Amino acid sequence: MKQRTNSILQTEKKCFITGSYNVCLHHCICGTANRKKCDEWGLWVWLNPDVHHALHTVKPSLRYALQRKAQEAFEKLYGHEKFMEVFHKNYL
């Protein structure tokens, strides 16, 4: 698939969780190999840096919730089989 420039999860450049405008990009499906796939398929969101840090350290439940939302958004567009083909893991 060609490089996607937009997230399929949000349209505004503000924190997906808090709504603040101090943001950094977060790839919803973790792992080095998945960063490029997330870019290609639009599975990323903007997060406040504090939220982003917490997501990777003290709030794994938030990370899992974002992974589920990402999979749901992907599957609305491309289906479950395609998600499994690309990411090889079910987060639902």
Q: What angle do CA 40, 29, 81 make, to 5 degrees?
A: 70
Q: Using the predicted structure, report yes or no on whether residue 1 has a pLDDT greater than 70.
A: no
Instruction: Indicate the pTM of the whole model.
Output: 0.86
In a domain, residue 60? The reply is yes
Q: Collect all residues with Cβ–Cβ distance below 8 Å to 4 and sequence separation of at least 6.
A: 39, 40, 41, 42
- The predicted-structure confidence for 70-87, as pLDDT tens digits, reads as follows 999 999 999 999 999 999
Domain that holds residue 61: 24-85
In a domain, residue 43? The reply is yes
What rounded mean pLDDT belongs to the chain? 89
Mean pLDDT for the stretch of residues 50-59: 86
In a domain, residue 39? The reply is yes
In a domain, residue 10? The reply is no
How many domains would you assign to the chain? 1
Given this model, what pLDDT does residue 4 score?
A: 60
